[in-house]
Amino acid sequence: MDDETFRAWARRAADWSVDYLAGVGERPVRAQVAPGEIFRQLPPEPPAAGEAMEAIFADLDRVVMPGMTHWQHPRFFAYFPANASPPSLVAEFVTAALAAQCMLWQTSPAATELETRVMDWLRQMIGLPDGFSGVIQDSASGATLAALLTARERALGFTGNAKGLAGGPALRVYASEQVHSSVDKAVRIAGIGDANLVRIPVAGPLHGMDPGALDAAIRADREAGLRPAAIVACLGGTGIGACDPIEAVAAVARRHDVFLHVDAAWAGSAMICPEFRDLMRGAEQADSLVFNPHKWLFTHFDCSAHFVRDPKALTDTLGLRPSYLRTLGHDGVVDYNEWSIPLGRRFRALKLWFVIRSYGVEALRGMIRDHVAWARELAGLIEAEPDFELTSAPILSLFSFRFAPAGIDDLDALNARLVERINDDGRTYLTQTRHDGRFVIRFQVGQTTTTRADVMMAWDAVREIAAGLRAG
Ligand code: PLP
């Protein structure tokens, strides 16, 4: 492609993006295709000769777009958000143009140094004290794995990597049942073993783990000759937003000298608002914490902010320094690949830099405050609606509910049908979870362009569809 053709297509892609985002609210939120429908339209063999960009672009609209679920739709209330923004998109375009591989300081000093600086901005923004160092990971799953590998090595006196785990003591990791499955996965990949993930019961309105039960579990394990290695506390669990009492959990961790990792993948972004920081009290005593600006801080996937108290423990766990990766003549520079599982790294700091500078912290706070306020308002309306039940109160901008008209035995089946109908309808998109043994519908507010009117429109759609369901 020559420069002028590239320029024309880059402009076309920019125009397409602006038009797409301006009109995304008119589309059904969740893709309305059957499994295999897109695949069947794709030629089984690759083209031997190059095709015209015009044809490729036409197929983007014809073949691909019907199979897309619109995460930037203002009435996307499913899962957790992946709320992007125009400044982030512009930065991603520039990042793609640079196409830099930022594994070492010298493979792009600006990428490393910008990452160090914006991670420190983020640290200040969420109220973590000085003394934490930050790195941008590809995902919260990657950060939690890095944390548990570090915890494993710390518990083994940094001998596990060298000697392997065979014949060593059984390591134990503690978490409530409210943590995300990335914790289960990390325990598995770290070689700790599924059976050594100890579930601590939860209590109270925030469904947080019981610190007394945690303490008792660790003591019992020690007495049984097992080796407690890590506690994973959750700040905003995936199902219903559960928050562990981090301060009390941290006291247990300190008492037993056990590594504490905090998974704040979703809720961490809200910590930029000082009034929500009660939820993270004690996080300053953690060994590491992860949160995802790619969920709720208007920044494109992938961007996971991982803060660690002791970067040396992390790099002693993950850092390998073959001669071909040495930065000659610059000992002591930060090579972020040593902080992460993959070697290669995208230039992820640029989009954060664009977002934070372009909005400023106050505007970012304002958007998150609106999300929380609208979620609370809607939860109040649902609680007051006779045929509906609020099944978990809002924690930040997430709550759950279910349709519970009198005289229906199988409310789980009814609500499963309701979710399907809502998502087939297309005006909004909601997902489900199980809470207290029941099928419940989650509602989280967090999209960049969502307004209060969108939240209310979604509620109108839910009520209308539920009424139709009851009528048969
Ligand atoms: N932790 C929590 C609480 C989550 O909700 C999620 C995903 O939704 C994750 C971790 C995993 O995030 P990632 O996709 O960045 O690995």
The rounded Å distance from CA 214 to ligand 1 centre is 23
Instruction: Give the atom of ligand 1 at the shortest distance from the alpha carbon of 292.
Output: 15
The rounded Å distance from CA 438 to ligand 1 centre is 22
**Is residue 261 a contact partner of residue 286, using CB atoms and an 8 Å limit?**
yes
Range with the poorest average pLDDT among 98-107, 275-284, 294-303, 317-326:
317-326
Would you place residue 427 in the very low, low, confident or very high pLDDT band (cuts 50, 70, 90)? very high
Q: What is the ipTM of this complex?
A: 0.98
Q: Which of 292, 295, 340, 397 to mutate to test the pocket of ligand 1 (most atoms within 8 A of CB)?
A: 292
The rounded Å distance from CA 420 to ligand 1 centre is 24
What digits encode the pLDDT tens for the residues 326-353?
Answer: 888 777 899 999 999 999 999 999 999 9
Instruction: Give the atom of ligand 1 at the shortest distance from the alpha carbon of 236.
Output: 3
The domain limits of the chain are 3-70, 93-359, 362-471
**Concatenated DSSP letters of 92-115:** HHHHHHHT---SSGGG-HHHHHHH
**Concatenated DSSP letters of 251-313:** HHHHHHT-EEEEE-TTGGGGGGSGGGGGGGTTGGG-SEEEE-HHHHSS--SS-EEEEES-HHH
Confidence (pLDDT) at 210: 97
Would you place residue 449 in the very low, low, confident or very high pLDDT band (cuts 50, 70, 90)? very high
The rounded Å distance from CA 243 to ligand 1 centre is 14
Q: Which of 71, 182, 280 to mutate to test the pocket of ligand 1 (most atoms within 8 A of CB)?
A: 182
Confidence (pLDDT) at 326: 85
Confidence (pLDDT) at 327: 81
For residue 142, give the 3-state DSSP assignment: helix
- Could you give the angle at the alpha carbon of 364 between the alpha carbons of 363 and 365, nearest 5°? 90
What digits encode the pLDDT tens for the residues 63-81?
Answer: 999 999 999 999 999 999 9
Range with the poorest average pLDDT among 318-332, 353-367, 409-423, 453-467:
318-332
Would you place residue 464 in the very low, low, confident or very high pLDDT band (cuts 50, 70, 90)? very high
Range with the poorest average pLDDT among 5-9, 164-168, 325-329, 464-468:
325-329
Q: Which of 148, 178, 238 to mutate to test the pocket of ligand 1 (most atoms within 8 A of CB)?
A: 238
Average pLDDT, the chain: 96
The rounded Å distance from CA 241 to ligand 1 centre is 12
Q: Which of 148, 180, 290 to mutate to test the pocket of ligand 1 (most atoms within 8 A of CB)?
A: 180
- Token pair 């405050």 in the structure block, residue: 369
Q: What are phi and psi of 100, to 5 degrees?
A: -90, 145
- Token pair 């640029």 in the structure block, residue: 350
- Kindly report the number of other CB atoms within 10 A of residue 4's CB atom: 8
What distance lies between CA 9 and its chain's CA centroid? 32
Instruction: Give the atom of ligand 1 at the shortest distance from the alpha carbon of 144.
Output: 10
What digits encode the pLDDT tens for the residues 89-128?
Answer: 999 999 999 999 999 999 999 999 999 999 999 999 999 9
The rounded Å distance from CA 140 to ligand 1 centre is 5
Confidence (pLDDT) at 102: 96
User: Closest residue (by CA) to atom 14 of ligand 1?
Assistant: 139
Beta bridge partners of 400: 392, 442
DSSP structural state of residue 332: T
- Mean pLDDT, to the nearest integer, of 311-321? 96
- Say whether pLDDT at 168 is over 90: no
The rounded Å distance from CA 265 to ligand 1 centre is 5
- Mean pLDDT, to the nearest integer, of 196-207? 96
- Could you give the angle at the alpha carbon of 373 between the alpha carbons of 372 and 375, nearest 5°? 65
For residues 376-390, one letter each, b for 16 or more C-beta atoms within 10 angstroms of the residue's C-beta and e for the rest, the string is ebbbeebeebeebbb
Alpha carbon separation from 465 to 79, 122, 406 (Å, rounded) = 20, 42, 17
Share of the chain above pLDDT 70, in %: 100
Paired sense of beta strands 133-137 and 304-308, if any = antiparallel
Instruction: Give the atom of ligand 1 at the shortest distance from the alpha carbon of 237.
Output: 3
Confidence (pLDDT) at 344: 96
**Is residue 71 a contact partner of residue 450, using CB atoms and an 8 Å limit?**
no
What digits encode the pLDDT tens for the residues 242-262?
Answer: 999 999 999 999 999 999 999
The rounded Å distance from CA 289 to ligand 1 centre is 13
- H/E segment holding residue 393: strand 388-395
- Say whether pLDDT at 284 is over 90: yes
- Say whether pLDDT at 472 is over 80: no
Fold designation for 3-70: dopa decarboxylase, N-terminal domain (1.20.1340)
The rounded Å distance from CA 326 to ligand 1 centre is 33
Report residues whose beta carbon is within 6 angstroms of any ligand 1 atom: 80, 139-141, 180, 182, 236-238, 263, 265-266, 292, 304
Superfamily of domain 362-471 in the CATH hierarchy: Aspartate Aminotransferase, domain 1 (3.90.1150.10)
Confidence (pLDDT) at 92: 98
Share of the chain above pLDDT 90, in %: 95
Confidence (pLDDT) at 153: 97
Confidence (pLDDT) at 285: 97
- Mean pLDDT, to the nearest integer, of 169-184? 96
The architecture CATH gives domain 93-359: 3-Layer(aba) Sandwich (3.40)
The rounded Å distance from CA 8 to ligand 1 centre is 38
Would you place residue 306 in the very low, low, confident or very high pLDDT band (cuts 50, 70, 90)? very high
- Mean pLDDT, to the nearest integer, of 390-404? 97
- Mean pLDDT, to the nearest integer, of 12-27? 97
Instruction: Give the atom of ligand 1 at the shortest distance from the alpha carbon of 264.
Output: 3
Instruction: Give the atom of ligand 1 at the shortest distance from the alpha carbon of 142.
Output: 16
Whether the ω angle into residue 302 lies within 30 degrees of 0, i.e. cis, is yes
Q: Which of 79, 136, 178, 266 to mutate to test the pocket of ligand 1 (most atoms within 8 A of CB)?
A: 266
Is 3-70's fold the same as 362-471's? no
- Say whether pLDDT at 28 is over 80: yes
